[in-house]
Amino acid sequence: MTTRDGTGDDRPEPGLDAVMSERRRLINIAYRLLGSLAEAEDAVQETYIRWYALSRERRDAIESPGAWLTTVVSRVCLNVLGSARARRETYVGEWLPEPLPDRAEWLGGRPDGAAADPADRVTLDESVDLALMVVLDAMTPAERVAFILHDVFRYSFAEVAEVVGRTPAACRQSASSARRRVREARPSVPPVPHHADVVRDFKRAWEAKDIEALIGLLDPGARAVADGGGRAVTFADPIEGGERIARAWAELARLRLGTMTLLERTVNGRPGLVAQESGVTVTVFAFDVAADGLIRHIWVVRNPEKLRSWGAGRGPDAPDGELG
């Protein structure tokens, strides 16, 4: 591949492979900063546009293209975060981060269902757990950037300071504040197998329309939040209390489960549930399970714009079964 620098000289771009190999890391950073894969992709695209807007000489003079790209994508995300609250004021209903499927099911929203470019896949680990992503969304932009770059991607506070335009000491304070928010919101994280058992039990109780079993799986102070974005019908306000949630889910089972297939799937690296209609994913359910085995939060994403990575899923013939 060659790159034109505007002088009419088509010369191979030195280190082009190295520059493009940064894309996946940039997508990973941007998704964690923004909570939206679409916005993350836009931020990375803008970063590469800025890279190739530089003259050939300026690109050649950059000692570490990876560090330059990281700085620029982080600044782009910081600008997006700064305007996010204003944009959320016009968002219909609750806003939740965009849920991501397991790598094996990643479709990337391709119309033909073709596999997405591996460079566009987000690495699923504890730093994209939806419970953490929700906490991140409540942080200030400076806290979020400092926490993600330092605590997750291990950049020094000096490097973080260059991104956010603050002193290293201020960035250290922002990261400390972010850490405190995380500890307060998520005092313990259960092992994944335990989490999977709880989600499976919830699925079975839901399918059986067993209100008492559902209540037994939910923390009395549990909270359910739904994001339809004005594009899909869902409950407008959060549902507070385990019993209220159980009764709402039992009513949903009565109204909808006859037309839906409910599947166990990985959601942002954690066990969750996916509802499909005619093989198309229409709802993703993520769960926060406490150490005592009770569900504290359920996040319901129905906005179709946030489900594009799920595509058609595996369809109703998936081995983990259909709803009766």
Provide the mean pLDDT of the chain: 86
Tens of pLDDT along 192-221? 678 999 999 999 999 999 999 999 999 999
Q: Are residues 223 and 173 in the same domain?
A: no
Is the torsion defined by CA of 76, 81, 87, 93 positive or negative?
positive
Shared domain check, 199 and 66: no
> What is the mean pLDDT of the segment spanning 6-15?
50
| Contacts (Cβ under 8 Å, ≥6 apart) of 234 | 93, 226, 227, 228, 300, 302
Beta 218-227 vs 261-267: how paired, if at all? unpaired
pLDDT grade for 110, boundaries at 50, 70 and 90: very low
Whether residues 120 and 41 fall in one domain: no
pLDDT in tens, 223-259: 999 999 998 999 989 999 999 999 999 999 988 777 8
Q: Are residues 151 and 85 in the same domain?
A: yes
d(CA 179, CA 168): 16
The pTM (predicted TM-score) of the whole model is 0.85
Nearest one of 15, 131, 118 to 66, comparing CA atoms: 15
Regarding whether 210 and 152 lie in a shared domain, the answer is no
Helix 37-53 vs helix 23-34: angle between axes, to the nearest 10 degrees? Answer: 130
Count of structural domains, the chain? 2
Q: Which two tokens stand for residue 181?
A: 């928010």
pLDDT computed for residue 123 by the predictor: 86
Which residues are CB-contacts of 319 (< 8 A; sequence separation ≥ 6)? none
Contacts of 262 (CB under 8 A, 6+ apart): 203, 206, 207, 273, 274, 275, 322, 323
